[in-house]
Chains A and B, each alone.
Chain A
Amino acid sequence: MIYLDNAATTPLEPAVLETFTKVYESFWANPHSLHKIGEKAEQLLEQARSQVTDLLGGSGYQAIFTSGATESNNLAIKGIAEIHKARGNHFITTNSEHPSVDQVLTYLESQGATVTRLPVGTDGTVTEEQVERALTEKTVLVSIMMVNNESGAINPIKEIAAMMKNHRALFHVDAVQGVGKIPFSLKESPVDLLSLSAHKFFGLKGSGVLILRERQRLAPQMIGGGQEFDLRSGTADVPRAASFAKALRLATENLPAKLAEVTRLNAILRESITTIDGVQINSPERGSPYILNCSVNGIRPETVLHGLVNEDIYISTVSACSSKKSELSPIILALTGNEERAKHSIRISLSHKTTELEIRRFLEIFRSTILTLR
């Protein structure tokens, strides 16, 4: 099997599975219980928590464990909206966010909020100037993704964070496709809130984190026993938390070398794909090398995908989170301004485990599949 759908999900790293099973074997008690085995579980939970913020290079930040990035995004946006309702009701985002940001903002709009959706440029990103121009006294939150899940476009998070330093509005970043793949540090990019998902970097599914500044007020969206500093109720899953920390540590280890290798593979892909008739690359040149989006003119993306599946190669059409919904990718439409391309886009997504052999084999089959289909 050649798996090139790593932006949808990744397999669990065996070393992470080891952590997971070990903790489930020995530290499965409820970390909120007062007995010794509960206390031990709690210690492990807190250790995992500080490891996560340490790995992101942030002092003055804390990590909240959630059931995934969708929950992290919901908590960040609704939690800030609720707490700052009296001050303002204006939000800034882009027109290319993941549904778990976009749909939350659409919901807030239905509740009376105003949302500015900045259009991305031809490289799929927004600029700090665009954000600056949109900021008003009523703006409470800016939510912009680090790396686009369909195009791989990288937004200037560091620059936006620096520009917003003196503004009252908070800055939330959905870093699901970024952290663990491209270098990031909270010290360099001091954002206010950051959403992460473990299963995009060889961790568990159902495992997310929301990073926020210590003492940042946030209205909890899941109410109950008051776990996670009263910000997120529900019994903490200690094995999951420990696995998150482990997966993040492994993902960020030797990151420059991994990134360089993926960049090299991406260049091979690009170079070869541009020579295939009727295939256009949608991903911007300077985006994340982990994602390459292209459009195959005149052939339905599902047809291409199924042709490849027959050869045991897995890529995707639009993102898994919207793949059953629409025929057209709004993200590729926003990026290219071309409906045909948006209707015919496919996504090839790599990981640091992808090999050159796999890429070469994929290219060969991809080329012949398209020829056959034509």
Chain B
Amino acid sequence: MSVIYLDNNATTKVDPAVVEVMMPFFTEQYGNPSSIHRFGGMVSRDVEKARASVAKLLNCKSSEIYFTGCGTESNNMALIGFADMRGRNVTKIVTTAVEHPAILETVAYLDKKGAHSTVIGVDGDGSIDVDKLVENVDANTIVSVMWANNETGVIFPIEEIAKKVKAKGGVMHTDAVQAAGKVVIDLQQVPVDMLSISGHKLHAPKGIGVLFVREGVKLEQFMHGGHQERNRRAGTENVPYIIGLGKACELAIDNLEHENKVLRAMRDRLQAGLLATCKGAVVNGGNELRLPNTLNISFEYIEGEAILLFLDESGIAASSGSACTTGSLEPSHVMRAMGLSYVLAHSSIRFSFSRFSSESEVDKVLEVLPAIIARLRKISPFVEGDD
């Protein structure tokens, strides 16, 4: 059965072009880039080319790109690395209530270890009060705000936030895992100090991430060992994955503008179709600037899990909440932070598109989902007066 995969914010399929460029590095050019002989040296040049491609996607210097083991590691490295450099007891961290667990759990951990954290809430549309966010920022503060939310797709005003944080002498980190490859990121324009990306959200493999660290920003080493990544990240370079990520970034650079339009059109058609045909449908974050590929929608009085199950039976993979809160059936922390009632938060579904999505897949969802909703509303104990 071919699956209609609309869960691309959870993970994406590796692009065949990415697989292709990785292949020679598994079996032929397999040298260790840290070896001093030519066989390692050749590989090391390819690693540097990939680094340049990542830098080009973000419009920064190659020397500001550090490869890590995943997006979670990048986020940990940024926050823990900063806290350990400044001293955990003097570190202040400001973040939002809708961050990914890789940020929220790390902030909670550092808080327990002596740092002082502030978590800022969001309004019903999922947006933040920037002035409140930067209110108490000082030179020992790191502010971490995601570029775009993984569940709603809501894009935060990172440029404005970063400028305000910098003006107060703070350090600014952004988790751009969901944004990279989907919207333009220009680090010459946006003065963040650190930025995290994850390969598998942009058609590169899982298990490869990047932390951008602006020149001059100091971090304590997070992973100790060899001298790799200019002493910032120990461990033998994962050459094939790095090469794959470089290619994925090139593809993103080439396709971003076009995909933006195509995916937005698909998403908007799905959204309009569902709002027109499903009772009690509410778009979450719909009034804000959003990632073009993401639709988060709640269906009043219906359990999101039940909808997903029926969609899954119809060969459609979507999600509720985020895959990263493993196996959890708790309503999404993002929806709760947006002030959705427990019932509405429990009923949210996320559709997320990629370059491999098609209009016929939207047709299929529009064909099956309204019937699923009508059926579930019939058996819902909360619905009154439906006929």
Contacts and interface: CB of A to CB of B under 8 A. Distances in A.
A70 B235 contact: yes
Q: Which of A33, A71, A240, A324 counts the most B-chain CB atoms under 10 A from its CB?
A: A33
B244 to A, nearest CB: 10
B237 A205 contact: yes
A20 B240 CA distance: 12
A237 B76 contact: no
A9 B106 contact: no
B102 A233 contact: yes
A222 interface: yes
Given A30-B10, A224-B72, A5 B225 contact: no
Contact of A322 (B68, B227, B325): B227
| Centre residue among B35, B72, B100, B208 by max chain A CB count within 10 A | B35
A287 interface: no
B11 A323 contact: no
A209 interface: no
Contacts of B38: 309
Nearest to B67: A206
Given A100-B225, A205-B236, A206-B208, A222 B32 contact: no
A321 B37 contact: no
Nearest to A39: B312
Given A32-B327, A103-B225, A237 B207 contact: yes
A236 interface: yes
B342 interface: no
Contact of A8 (B5, B32, B323): B32
Contact of B11 (A28, A107, A240, A321): A28
Nearest to B221: A107
Contact of A224 (B101, B208, B305): B101
A323 B72 contact: no
A226 B221 CA distance: 23
A225 B322 CA distance: 9
Interface string B34-48: 111111100000000
Among A3, A21, A35, A225, max chain B CB count under 10 A is at A35
Contacts of A323: 34-36
A326 to B, nearest CB: 10
Given A107-B224, A224-B75, A204 B240 contact: yes
B317 A33 contact: yes
Nearest to A107: B224
A10 interface: yes
A35 B317 contact: yes
Interface in A69-86: 69-71, 73-74
Contact of A222 (B34, B72, B305): B72
Nearest to A104: B224
A317 B311 CA distance: 58
A68 B69 contact: yes
A144 to B, nearest CB: 16
A37 B30 CA distance: 32
A141 to B, nearest CB: 15
A197 B234 CA distance: 14
**Among the interface residues B11, B23, B207, which one has the most CB atoms of the partner chain A within 10 A?**
B207
A12 B72 contact: no
A224 B14 contact: no
B197 interface: no
Interface in B42-80: 68-73, 75-76
B105 interface: yes
Nearest to A197: B236
A8 to B, nearest CB: 4
B235 A100 contact: yes
B312 A224 contact: no
B317 A38 contact: yes
A234 B73 contact: yes
A29 interface: yes
A8 B356 CA distance: 38
Nearest to B13: A28
Given A322-B226, A323-B36, A36 B317 contact: yes
Query: Which residue among B26, B27, B105, B326 has the maximum number of chain A CB atoms within 10 Å of its CB?
Result: B326
A204 to B, nearest CB: 7
Contact of A9 (B198, B221, B236): B236
B162 to A, nearest CB: 23
B106 A224 contact: yes
24 contacts: A9-B31, A28-B11, A29-B5, A29-B11, A30-B11, A35-B319, A67-B70, A71-B235, A100-B225, A101-B225, A103-B225, A206-B235, A206-B241, A207-B207, A222-B73, A224-B106, A225-B72, A225-B100, A236-B206, A239-B205, A306-B37, A314-B31, A314-B37, A315-B37
Closest 9 CB pairs of A and B: A206-B238, A67-B69, A100-B225, A224-B102, A225-B324, A321-B226, A70-B235, A237-B207, A234-B72
Given A9-B32, A103-B234, 11 more contacts: A8-B35, A9-B236, A38-B7, A67-B235, A71-B223, A73-B225, A205-B241, A223-B106, A321-B234, A323-B35, A324-B36
